[in-house]
Each structure stands twice: as structure tokens, then as C-alpha cells.
A and B are shown apart, each in its own frame.
Chain A
Amino acid sequence: MPNVRIRLPRTTLSVRALRRPVPPGQLQRRATPAILALPLVALVAASCMPQPVTPQGREIEHLYNIVFAIALAIFVFVEALIVYAVLRYRRRPSDTSLPVQTHGNNLLEIVWTVVPTVIVVVLFVLSWQTLNSIEKVSAQTDVRIRAVAQRYQWSFEYLSPDGQQVLFTQLAPEMSIPVGTTVHLSLRSPDVIHAFYVPRFLFKRDVVPGVENVFEFSVDEDDAGQSFRGQCAELCGEFHGAMVFTVKALTQADYQAWLQGQIDRASATPAPGGGPGQTTLLISALNIAFDKADLTAPAGQPFTIEFRNDDAGIPHNVEIKDAGGTSVFQGEIFNGTDTRLYAIPALGAGNYTFICTAHPNMTGTLAVQ
């Protein structure tokens, strides 16, 4: 056995350096600011809103920052009062007689009633101003979209400038919008209450069955080409958490080209679900598995999937994702045993995967040729 000598690193010196006595005051002076500053920095860093991408969102962020500053000041002030009282007024063995029995002080009561009143009135006025600004509906825009929230999918109807006609329906949970333009969004639900929520807009609005809520927003020019995550924010049932969508910001030119392409395709092909010669694919699900692993569909034209769910009481659907994993179609999730016809919009040629949203391990390949 070779003679192995383990050489210990020479730590003695540094240990000794650490042990060198430091005057207690100096240690405290060194440590205290760091100890106090760290949570404060962490707090402020964690308390930022996501970077807003709409002018409306920026107003909300601005207001939030004001509220946060006031809230932080009040919080630190009052907690400091509590901590001070606890540290300063502990009962000592020498405290044999009672402390002064103060029953109250009217001046103080007035002060701590009036000062908070002033603060909340100021906050209310600020809040009201911002509210009026972000709630403004101009009715002067050409971009009118109706988001339809249905358990558990989003689709988007692009409306004519007068809002009367549906130009085409985007079935994939993806809303394309032009940057720098006011978008007039109305919200419709055929079933339960949902909520349209895009965190980067710092905004949400409920989608209430029976009424159509409306709001307007515009995405900044700088953000063209970006996509923003959106999600249903009102509990709508079992797969509420899967009810996500994307907002895609396009330049004006790209948007117009995309819009025209969609309109042409919608008018060139017969309405989904009907029409002679349209492809219908059959697929079914049993025991948490699809009966087919491969499907083939024609490129550039809409087709239908007839999906039969044979799992009694178990929810399934068919969702189609492109090669990049982006959802291009999400069918209604329903309990078996039952059958649904899904109208799939025209897809570009290529390989797609189809899955069940509720059971992502149920999967297969869709070849569009």
C-alpha cells in the first residue's frame, strides 16, 4: 500500500484571523446595515410588478409603486413601534409598583384618525384618476376581437370594424394583435365565469356568461414579435389550470398580412364541420390511451376530427401542438362516454403531435401533408 500523505490545507492562519478580537461595537456596526439591508433589498426586488407592455399597464405599475412606497413606510414605522415597545418596556424585577395607568389621550386619537384618513383619501383620488384613464373606451378602433372562453379553451373571433360580423375564428389559443394600435376586446362565455388575464398587461377582466365585458388596450411598438402568456384567472372547473393562451404582438404590416391570410382561408374553404369532400379523421380513447398513434391530414385546409371518448366518467380531448410545442388547437374536454366533432383550422404541412390535455402522456403524431 503506497504511503499516502494527506496534506491539510493551512487554515490555521485564517481561523486565527477570524478569532482576532473585534471590538463589539465595530462588529455591530459592520453587521447591522447588512442584516437590515438584505431582507429589504430582497423585499423590494420581489415586490416588483412584471414589466408592463401596455400604456394601461404602465399606469397601473406607476400607481402600484406609489402604493407600495406608502405601504412599506407604514409597515416599517408601525412594526418598529411594536418592536420598540416590546424591547423597551419589559417588566423588570424592580418593577414592583404599577406603571402609570394611562387611559387614553384624545389628541393622539384624533391624530391617528386624521392622518390615516388623509392617506386613504389621497390614495383614493390617485386610484380614481388611474381607473378613469385605463377604463376609457374610444370605440374608434378597427381592431375588434372577441375572446370566447369556454371550458377549457380560448378562441378568438376577429370582428369587422363595425363589430357586427365575424371575419374568422382563431381556434388555437393564440391571439395575434398589431402593436401600437388600440385593440377593442370583448369577452364572451357560453358556460361558466372565466377571467381573461395577461400578467404582462397587469390586467384582468371577468368573462361572465350572459353579459359581454369590454376593455381596450394597446401593446407598445417596441414589443413587436413578442408573445405574452395569458391564463384563465377565475376557477372554471377541473382543468381551469390548463386554460392558457398566448398573445402574439405583430408589427402592423405583419398583422395585416396575417389577418388577410386568415380571412382568405376562411372564405376559400367551406365552413368547418360541413361541406362535401372535407376530411374527417376518426379517433377514440379508452383506458387513458388513444386507439391510434398516427393520423394524417391534408395541408392548408380545415378538417374535422371525430373524437369518441370511451372512458366512462373520465375527461379527455384532443389538443394539437406544432413541432415547437405551441398549441394550435385545443378541443373541448368532456367526460366519456360521448363523442365530439372538432373543427380543426387549416394547418401548414409538417409533423404535429396530438395529446389529451388532461392526460399529457396520451400522445400521437399528426402528419399534415
Chain B
Amino acid sequence: MATTALTPAATTYRTGLYEWLTTTDHKKIGILYLVNSFIFFGLGGLLALGVRAELAVPGLQFVDEQLYNQLFTMHASFMLFLFVIPILAGFANYVVPLQIGAPDMAFPRINALSFWMLPLAGIIMATGFLTGGGAAAAGWTSYSPLSQDAYSGTGMDLWIVAVVLIGTSSILGAINFLVTIFKMRAPGMTMFRLPILVWTALVTSVLVVLATPVLASALIMLFIDRNYGGHFFDPASGGNAVLWQNVFWFYSHPAVYIMILIGMGIVSEILPVFSRKPLFGYKAFVFATAGIGALGFSVWAHHMFTTGAVYLPFFSFMTFLIAIPTGVKMFNWIATLYRGQLTLSTPLLFALGFLSMFLLGGINGAFSAVVPVDFAIHDTYWVVAHIHYVLFGGSVFAVFAGVYYWFPKMTGRMLNETLGKIQFVVMFIGLNLTFFPQHQLGLSGMPRRIADYSSTAGWNDANLWSTIGSLLIAVSILPFFWNVFISLRGGSIAGDDPWEGNTLEWATSSPPPPYNFDRLPDIHSERPLFDARHRREAVPALTVGPDASGHAEISAALGRPHDSPDSGSLAKGMDRSHGQ
């Protein structure tokens, strides 16, 4: 068989650190994305602790107002641009080529370029702290005129440059995903057999390609305003302040879906595996994902209801509409659990945490779609609670679910279950202790982004609880890092398929060889591995060896011609992908 000739790995002519710095292997790049993102997750978390420490009690204790504004601006910028978006891209980078049976991404060098822009951008953004005026302090939304040169210093310019770089990285990555998904699927992997994670990566990439150039243009216009006397967003010279909000949110609302869709994909991979059932309503799920992507472009102005500059009923209606496909997904996830056989391993715990917390984040967000209610809660701590239930309860739980799920594939070793469960429980309590009281703060009128508050405003208790909760979240990260540290050295050996997975990444070794697959199973559904595993059980008379003749026998036993168009052999797959 031609393919087995590939088994001896290509001779590695680079080793160690040099290999990691120069690699074009999507798996190594994916891991680099994860590591880089976790570094910024840690830094962003420390900034958040600074914010919460200052707010624990009234009065200024640790920082002054100027530094406080830098803390929350850089917290959000790190978490959104350098953690959530890249880490989801990192999972997609690692998993998508494996799940579609490809040997790598379509453009491996561009893939490496996309990654290496991120640490560079992060360093540029962080150096704002070293400049005279400090880091960017106009909020991650950088509303003009506050972000103009009259009101902010060099840190703001560095922030703009960094976000343009990150945007460029995203665009390059998205084009790479689109080409990879459209052109490099293994034979038999039709669009409606793509794993849901691949679908979410596909829709995310479309969003990135359509929305991120708008942000890049806006940032360049702001840069011109600040440095070369442009007046695009400066009302003092005939520009329009609200124009910035329109272009910014035209990107940043779709970006909210960029920050959650792949997370939904991760959860949609994990729930079926750990309940031993297929995803309920696969096609409904695909259409809901596409629907979220399409509607995501028509709701940006719901961030601007109080500006008095947008047509409220239209954006309110579209915002209500986008709740429907999200609701459809929620019910499909729950229906997947029903009558299943649930194994409560750590990946499933985090996925269940995602369901219950993302639900709350969706529901408290609906209040803002009701325009008159938004007039009351906009720019208060209610909104802070909402965004964190979506991005922490949603995206971050999905990220940890994904880490526990694919760590065995990436490293060949299992993470420790006990430590994982401790992390989940502490983090779940910490999350709710931090963010649930913020609903009450918002209702009673505490605006976001203030360093201090009056001790008579009635906000003392909720703020103190919230700070205690944030410490609990910080504590919950420690068993995770310890877990990764000890499991890398002495975790139990995972084997190819520790979870009885459904998708192709579990068909290869852990970690996979650089070219990913020696052989691929036949692909007849979105669960090729499930088919392979259970058709064997169903046809016990056939003992199948690791050679192609076994495939022929199974195909024959199942009444399909061996060389039908969708029962591709690996040789075809390899030829095809090498031809790209």
C-alpha cells in the first residue's frame, strides 16, 4: 500500500526551540496560539484583579484614576484581541485540518505568519505602559473624541498599531481556513459531513473576512486623525464622533460571534462524544450557525441605542431575531444530552458549564434589546455582567472544555481528572460570585469604568462580593497550570482515542505525525470514527486489520462498492491534498 511508505517520519532537520520558532506545521502553530493566548490570559487576568481590588471598597486604595483607566482598557484589549479570538483560532488551527482529513492548512507559511504577528502585536500594545502617558486608557472601544490626540497619548497609537496587526493576522488566518475547508477535505468529507467545529470555523472566517477590514480601515482613519491632522471622527473640525462607533461596532458586533462560534463548535464536539449520541439536529445547527453569521452584520447599532443617532426599532428587531438561532442551538444541545449515557469527565463538565452560563449571558443580554430597558442599563455594570457571562461563562468555559478534550491528542497524555474537577467547581463558583452581583449594581445605577464610588450609593456589598469572586477565579487557575505541568511529565498515556471520539483527529496517533494520517477511515457521515468503531461491532464476523483490504471487506459487507466516489482511499486523499 502506497501510503504506508510515509510512516517513517520525514527526517527532522530542525530541533527543539529552533523547530518551534520556524515551524509551519498547523499542529505546532495551533499549540503556539494556545500558549501565547494563555500568557495574555494570565496578564489580562492580573489587570482584572487590579480593577477588582480597587473597587472592593469605596475610595482609592491602590491606583489613581489614570492608571485605573489603563487597567480596564488593557484588560479588555488583552482578553478580547490577544486571548479569546486567537485561542479559538488556535483550536481551529490544530483541529480543523485533522477533522477534515487534511495533512496541513492550505498555506502553511502564511499560517506561521498569522501567528507570529500576535506576540509582536501584544508586545507593542503592552509597551504603552512604558510610555510617558501610559497605556491606552480610552476603553477597548476607543470612542472618539476621547481617543483623539488631544485626550490621549502615545499608548493609544501603540494600541491602534497593535490592533491593526492583530486584525491582519485574523484576516490572513481566515482566508487560510476558508481555502483549507473548501479545497482540502478528504474524499467523502462533503460539506454536510463536516464536524460542527469546522462549520463554526468556516462561518467565523467569513465574518472575519467581511468585518475585520472595516475595523482596520477605521483604525487607520483614527491614526490619521491623531497623527496627520485628519478630521474623520473629530466633531470640532466637521468630523463625526458617532461615525467611529458605527464603523467600530460594524466590526465589533460580528466579533462577538467571532469570539463565541468556535466555542460553540467545541461544545458541539464534546456533548455528542460524552453522551454517546450524535448531535441532535445537525443541519439545524449548521443553518443556525450560518444564520447567526448573517444576522450578526445587522445588529451593530444595538451598542448605540443611547447615542440618539441610530434608528432604534430596526436594530432592536434584528437584535431580537438573532436570539432565535442561538436558542435553537441551546435546545439542540440539550436534546443531544437526552436519553444519552453521560460520562461526567472534565471536558463535559466545562461544556455543561458553558450551556448553563451562556444561557444566562443570552438572557441578560436580551434585556438590552428592549430599547427602553437599555436606556436604563446601558453602560452600567449590568452590561459588564452580560459580557462576562457570555465571554467567561461562554467562551472561556468552552476553551477549558477544549483544552481538557484535546490535550491528550496534542501531547499524548491525559490531564488529571481530579484537578480538572477542582478547577471547574472553583471557577464556576468564582464566576457567579464575581458577575452575578454586578446585575444588581447595574440596576441600582453604578456606571462601568469608574475607579471609585460613593460609600452611600449602596454599592459596597455587591462590589466586595464581586472582588472576592474574582480572587476565587484567580485561585481556580492555579490547579489548571499545575495540572498541565504535572500531566506533561507524568500524565497517563492517552492512546489514539481516549474518549471514543467521533471525528478524524482520533483516527491518528497522539500526538499525530507531522503529516497527520497514515490512513483514513471511510467517511460516510459526520462521525466517521463512530461508524468505523460500531460497524465493526455490528459486523463481528469481519476482523479488520490496519490494511486497505479490511476497508474493502467492510464496504462489501455494508453493500457499498469499494471504489464508490465517497469511499475514498487514503492514496487519493494524499494525492489530492498534495496537489493544492
B439 close to chain A: CB less than 8 A? yes
Scan A211-243; emit 1 where CB is below 8 A from any B CB, else 0. 101100000000000000101111111111110
Task: Indicate if the CB atoms of B316 and A195 lie closer than 8 Å.
Answer: no
Task: Indicate if the CB atoms of A75 and B359 lie closer than 8 Å.
Answer: yes
CA of A55 to CA of B12, assembled, Å: 75
Query: Which residues of the partner chain B approach A237 to less than 8 Å between Cβ atoms?
Result: 69, 146, 151
B-contacting 9-mer, from A24-32, A57-65, A269-277:
A57-65
A299 close to chain B: CB less than 8 A? no
A48-98 residues with Cβ-Cβ distance < 8 A to B are 48-50, 59-60, 63-64, 67-68, 71, 74-75, 78-79, 81-82, 85-86, 89-92, 95, 98
**A91 contacts which of B284, B341, B440 (Cβ < 8 Å)?**
B341
B518-557 residues with Cβ-Cβ distance < 8 A to A are 534
With A79-B359, A191-B145, A241-B451 given, is the CB distance from A67 to B341 under 8 Å? Answer: no
Task: Indicate if the CB atoms of A120 and B235 lie closer than 8 Å.
Answer: no
Task: Indicate if the CB atoms of B352 and A86 lie closer than 8 Å.
Answer: yes
Task: Indicate if the CB atoms of B375 and A116 lie closer than 8 Å.
Answer: no
**B457 contacts which of A47, A99, A130, A229 (Cβ < 8 Å)?**
A229
Nearest Cβ in chain A — how far from B205, in angstroms? 26
Scan B303-342; emit 1 where CB is below 8 A from any A CB, else 0. 0001111001100110011011001101110110111111
Say what secondary structure dominates the interface of chain A.
Answer: mixed
Nearest Cβ in chain B — how far from A82, in angstroms? 6
B230 close to chain A: CB less than 8 A? no
Task: Indicate if the CB atoms of B340 and A113 lie closer than 8 Å.
Answer: no
Task: Indicate if the CB atoms of B241 and A63 lie closer than 8 Å.
Answer: no
| Nearest residue, chain B, Cβ from A213 | B308
A-contacting 9-mer, from B100-108, B206-214, B272-280:
B272-280
Give the A-B pair count, Cβ closer than 8 A.
252
B356-413 residues with Cβ-Cβ distance < 8 A to A are 356, 359-360, 363-364, 366-367, 369-373, 375-376, 378-380
Task: Indicate if the CB atoms of A131 and B312 lie closer than 8 Å.
Answer: yes
A364 close to chain B: CB less than 8 A? no
Task: Indicate if the CB atoms of B370 and A210 lie closer than 8 Å.
Answer: no
B-contacting 9-mer, from A14-22, A199-207, A316-324:
A199-207
CA of A208 to CA of B282, assembled, Å: 47
A117 close to chain B: CB less than 8 A? yes
A124 close to chain B: CB less than 8 A? yes
Query: Which residues of the partner chain A approach B366 to less than 8 Å between Cβ atoms?
Result: 67, 71, 123
With A67-B366, A89-B342, A121-B320 given, is the CB distance from A197 to B69 under 8 Å? Answer: no
CA of A303 to CA of B283, assembled, Å: 74
Nearest Cβ in chain A — how far from B241, in angstroms? 6
Nearest Cβ in chain A — how far from B537, in angstroms? 9
Interface footprint category on B: 35 or more
A328 close to chain B: CB less than 8 A? no
Task: Indicate if the CB atoms of A235 and B146 lie closer than 8 Å.
Answer: yes
Scan A231-268; emit 1 where CB is below 8 A from any B CB, else 0. 11111111111101000000000000000000000000
CA of A67 to CA of B452, assembled, Å: 31
With A75-B360, A109-B284, A231-B447 given, is the CB distance from A67 to B373 under 8 Å? Answer: yes
B66 close to chain A: CB less than 8 A? yes
Task: Indicate if the CB atoms of A199 and B275 lie closer than 8 Å.
Answer: no
Task: Indicate if the CB atoms of B331 and A131 lie closer than 8 Å.
Answer: no
CA of A112 to CA of B329, assembled, Å: 10
Chain A residues bordering chain B, tally (CB within 8 A): 82
Query: Which residues of the partner chain B approach A206 to less than 8 Å between Cβ atoms?
Result: 306-308
Query: Which residues of the partner chain B approach A229 to less than 8 Å between Cβ atoms?
Result: 445, 457
A326 close to chain B: CB less than 8 A? no
| Nearest residue, chain A, Cβ from B443 | A49
B23 close to chain A: CB less than 8 A? no
With A78-B359, A120-B321 given, is the CB distance from A234 to B380 under 8 Å? Answer: no
Task: Indicate if the CB atoms of A124 and B316 lie closer than 8 Å.
Answer: yes
**B379 contacts which of A131, A197, A203, A210 (Cβ < 8 Å)?**
A197
B134-171 residues with Cβ-Cβ distance < 8 A to A are 137-139, 143, 145-146, 151
B2 close to chain A: CB less than 8 A? no
Nearest Cβ in chain A — how far from B429, in angstroms? 14
Task: Indicate if the CB atoms of B339 and A100 lie closer than 8 Å.
Answer: yes
Nearest Cβ in chain B — how far from A214, in angstroms? 8
Query: Which residues of the partner chain A approach B317 to less than 8 Å between Cβ atoms?
Result: 124
Query: Which residues of the partner chain B approach A91 to less than 8 Å between Cβ atoms?
Result: 276, 341-343
Task: Indicate if the CB atoms of B343 and A59 lie closer than 8 Å.
Answer: no
Task: Indicate if the CB atoms of B379 and A98 lie closer than 8 Å.
Answer: no
CA of A79 to CA of B280, assembled, Å: 18
CA of A133 to CA of B490, assembled, Å: 66
CA of A116 to CA of B323, assembled, Å: 8
Task: Indicate if the CB atoms of A102 and B277 lie closer than 8 Å.
Answer: yes
CA of A82 to CA of B338, assembled, Å: 9
A193 close to chain B: CB less than 8 A? yes
Query: Which residues of the partner chain B approach A92 to less than 8 Å between Cβ atoms?
Result: 341
With A127-B372, A235-B139 given, is the CB distance from A210 to B445 under 8 Å? Answer: no
Task: Indicate if the CB atoms of B277 and A101 lie closer than 8 Å.
Answer: yes
**B65 contacts which of A116, A121, A210, A238 (Cβ < 8 Å)?**
A238
Query: Which residues of the partner chain A approach B360 to less than 8 Å between Cβ atoms?
Result: 75
**A90 contacts which of B65, B342, B379 (Cβ < 8 Å)?**
B342
CA of A202 to CA of B373, assembled, Å: 8
Query: Which residues of the partner chain A approach B246 to less than 8 Å between Cβ atoms?
Result: none
CA of A256 to CA of B552, assembled, Å: 96
B229 close to chain A: CB less than 8 A? no
A192 close to chain B: CB less than 8 A? yes
Query: Which residues of the partner chain B approach A199 to less than 8 Å between Cβ atoms?
Result: 376, 444-445
CA of A213 to CA of B281, assembled, Å: 48
CA of A100 to CA of B378, assembled, Å: 47
Task: Indicate if the CB atoms of B146 and A192 lie closer than 8 Å.
Answer: yes
**A112 contacts which of B331, B364, B443, B450 (Cβ < 8 Å)?**
B331
B355 close to chain A: CB less than 8 A? yes
Query: Which residues of the partner chain A approach B332 to less than 8 Å between Cβ atoms?
Result: 104, 109
| Nearest residue, chain A, Cβ from B526 | A103
Task: Indicate if the CB atoms of B376 and A117 lie closer than 8 Å.
Answer: no
With A67-B370, A86-B337, A102-B278 given, is the CB distance from A124 to B379 under 8 Å? Answer: no
Query: Which residues of the partner chain A approach B344 to less than 8 Å between Cβ atoms?
Result: 86, 90
Query: Which residues of the partner chain B approach A90 to less than 8 Å between Cβ atoms?
Result: 341-342, 344
B453 close to chain A: CB less than 8 A? yes
Nearest Cβ in chain B — how far from A126, in angstroms? 8
A4 close to chain B: CB less than 8 A? no
Task: Indicate if the CB atoms of A120 and B373 lie closer than 8 Å.
Answer: no
B460 close to chain A: CB less than 8 A? no
With A63-B373, A124-B320, A134-B372 given, is the CB distance from A86 to B380 under 8 Å? Answer: no
A105 close to chain B: CB less than 8 A? yes
With A50-B445, A104-B281, A108-B335 given, is the CB distance from A209 to B235 under 8 Å? Answer: yes
Task: Indicate if the CB atoms of A205 and B306 lie closer than 8 Å.
Answer: yes
CA of A99 to CA of B278, assembled, Å: 10
With A211-B309, A233-B379 given, is the CB distance from A103 to B445 under 8 Å? Answer: no
Task: Indicate if the CB atoms of B439 and A116 lie closer than 8 Å.
Answer: no
With A82-B352, A91-B341, A241-B450 given, is the CB distance from A63 to B370 under 8 Å? Answer: yes
B1 close to chain A: CB less than 8 A? no
| Nearest residue, chain B, Cβ from A66 | B370
Task: Indicate if the CB atoms of B324 and A192 lie closer than 8 Å.
Answer: no
Of the A-B pairs whose beta carbons lie under 8 Å apart in the complex, a sample of 6, sorted by A's number, is A91-B341, A197-B445, A204-B379, A209-B241, A231-B445, A241-B65
Q: Which 10 A-B pairs have CB atoms at the shortest separation, nearest pair first?
A: A199-B445, A210-B235, A241-B450, A91-B341, A120-B320, A85-B337, A202-B376, A104-B281, A213-B308, A112-B331
Interface residues of A (CB under 8 A from B): 46-50, 59-60, 63-64, 67-68, 71, 74-75, 78-79, 81-82, 85-86, 89-92, 95, 98-105, 108-109, 112-113, 116-117, 120-121, 123-124, 126-128, 130-131, 134, 191-193, 195, 197, 199-200, 202-206, 208-211, 213-214, 229, 231-242, 244, 358
> What 18 new A-B contacts, CB under 8 Å, besides A85-B340, A134-B372, A209-B241?
A67-B370, A68-B367, A75-B359, A82-B356, A104-B281, A105-B280, A113-B328, A123-B370, A124-B317, A193-B146, A199-B376, A202-B375, A203-B375, A206-B308, A236-B146, A238-B137, A239-B65, A242-B452
